[in-house]
Structure 1
C-alpha cells in the first residue's frame, strides 16, 4: 500500500492564506505554538495537514512509512490535532485541555480559544517525546 499523506513543497503560509480569517489566525497561532515546543519548522503534509519533524513507522503487517512527529489541520468544521493521545501520561492532560472530542489518533476542537494552551503545549511536548526514538 502506498502512503497517501506525504510532505509537500507548498508553503505553510500559502495554505493558511486560503482559510477563512478565524481558521487562518488559529492556524498561525498553532504554528507558533508547535514551533516553540518542538523547535522544528512547519511542513505541509498532503493538502491540509501541517506537520513538524517526522518519524518512521512499521506495522506488523509490513506497511511502513513516515509521519509527522506533531501535527494539526485547521479544517473548516474543527481543528484536528494529531498524536496528542499517544503518550501514557496524556489522559489527565486531555481531561484539562478544554472542550474536544477524540478519534483514533486525533483530538478535535471547534475553537482554539476554548482550549488551555498551556495544556496543549504539554501534550505536544509528550507527543514529540514519544516519537523521538524513531525520528528521521
Structure 2
C-alpha cells in the first residue's frame, strides 16, 4: 500500500512562509495567524508546502489509513488554497466571503483583500468546530 505523501514534517512554518514572494507572503502570514488564533493550535508543516493545524485520522473501507491536518492552507502561485473549510457544510458563510473560487473540497483566494476577513474568521471558526 502506498505511503501517504502529505504528513507532518519537522519544517518550520515561519521559515517556509518567509520564502514566499510578496504580496502572497503577507496574505499567507495573515491566514496563518488567524488559523492559529481561532484554532488554538500551533502551525505545522504537512509535506513541503501545506501549513496545517490539528490532525484528523482516517481509515477507508479498503484498509488504507493515515492522518491529515484538520485545517490548513498552501500559498500556491495562482492563489492561496485553504483546506478543511467545510465549504459545502458552511455554504452560507462561504457565500458572504467575497471573491473566491472553490475546488474539490478547497477554497481559493487570489488576494486576501478580495474577501471579508471577518467572514473568513467566521468560516475558520465554523469549519474548526465541525
Report the TM-score, using the length of structure 1 for normalisation: 0.89
SS in 1 for 2:23: helix
Q: Given that residues 7 and 43 in structure 1 are in contact (C-alpha distance below 8 angstroms), is that contact kept between their aligned partners in structure 2?
A: yes
Q: How far apart, CA to CA, are the structure 2 residues paired with 1:52 and 1:73?
A: 12
Question: How far apart are residue 86 of structure 1 and its match?
Answer: 5.4
Residue 32 of structure 1 corresponds to 33
CA-based RMSD of the aligned residues comes to 1.3
Q: How far apart, CA to CA, are the structure 1 residues paired with 2:62 and 2:118?
A: 37
Q: Gaps (5+ residues) in structure 2?
A: none
Residue 20 of structure 2 corresponds to 19
Count of matched residue pairs: 129
Q: How far apart, CA to CA, are the structure 2 residues paired with 1:2 and 1:45?
A: 14
Q: Given that residues 87 and 107 in structure 2 are in contact (C-alpha distance below 8 angstroms), is that contact kept between their aligned partners in structure 1?
A: no
Mapping of residues 16-95 of structure 1, within 5 Å: 16-85=17-86, 88=89, 90-95=90-95
Q: Given that residues 77 and 110 in structure 1 are in contact (C-alpha distance below 8 angstroms), is that contact kept between their aligned partners in structure 2?
A: yes
| Superimposed CA distance per residue, residues 17-44 of structure 1 (whole angstroms, 9 cap, x where no aligned partner) | 1110211111111111001110000011
After TM superposition, the runs of 4+ consecutive aligned structure 1 residues lying more than 4 A away are: none
Q: How far apart, CA to CA, are the structure 1 residues paired with 2:122 and 2:71?
A: 12
Question: How far apart are residue 87 of structure 1 and its match?
Answer: 6.4
Residue 108 of structure 2 corresponds to 108
| Superimposed CA distance per residue, residues 29-60 of structure 1 (whole angstroms, 9 cap, x where no aligned partner) | 11110011100000111111000111111122
Q: Given that residues 87 and 127 in structure 1 are in contact (C-alpha distance below 8 angstroms), is that contact kept between their aligned partners in structure 2?
A: no
Residue 11 of structure 2 corresponds to 10
Q: Gaps (5+ residues) in structure 1?
A: 131-136
Report the TM-score, using the length of structure 2 for normalisation: 0.93
